[in-house]
Amino acid sequence: MNEVLQTLSNIGIVPVIAIDDAAKAVPLAKALAAGGLPAAEVTFRTAAAEDAIRAIAKEVPDMVLGAGTVLTVEQADRAMAAGATFIVAPGYDPNVTQHVISKGGIMVPGTSTAGEMQQAMNQGCEVVKFFPAEANGGVAMLKNIGAALKGCRWMCTGGVNSKNVNDYLGYSQIVAVGGTWMCKKDLIEEEKWEEITAISKEAVKTMLGFSLAHVGINCENEVEAQRAAKTLCAFFGFEYKPGNSSIFAGSAVECMKTPYLGANGHIAIATNSIDRAVYHLSRQGVEFDASTRKPKAIYLKGEVGGFALHLVQK
The CA distance from 222 to 35, in Å, is: 45
The rounded distance, in Å, linking the Cα atoms of 191 and 123 is: 41
Alpha-carbon separation of residue 278 from 67, 214, 275, 291, 301 (angstroms): 27, 19, 5, 14, 12
Q: What is the C-alpha to C-alpha distance for residues 228 and 79, in angstroms, rounded to an integer?
A: 63
CA torsion, points 153, 159, 163, 166, in degrees to nearest 10?
A: 0
Q: Using CA atoms, how far apart are residues 191 and 183, in angstroms rounded to an integer?
A: 10
Which residues are identified as catalytic? Answer: 41, 129
For residues 260 and 302, the answer to whether their CB atoms sit within 8 Å is: no
Contacts 24+ apart (CB under 8 A), 2-6: 2/106, 2/126, 4/64, 4/85, 4/86, 4/106, 5/86, 5/106, 5/126, 5/127, 5/153, 5/175
Q: Give the C-alpha separation, 137 to 140, whole Å.
A: 6
Q: How many CB atoms lie within 10 A of CB 149?
A: 16
Are 271 and 208 in contact by the 8 Å Cβ rule? The answer is yes
Q: How far is CA 80 from the centre of its chain?
A: 24
Give the angle 161-166-167 at the CA atoms, nearest 5°. Answer: 90
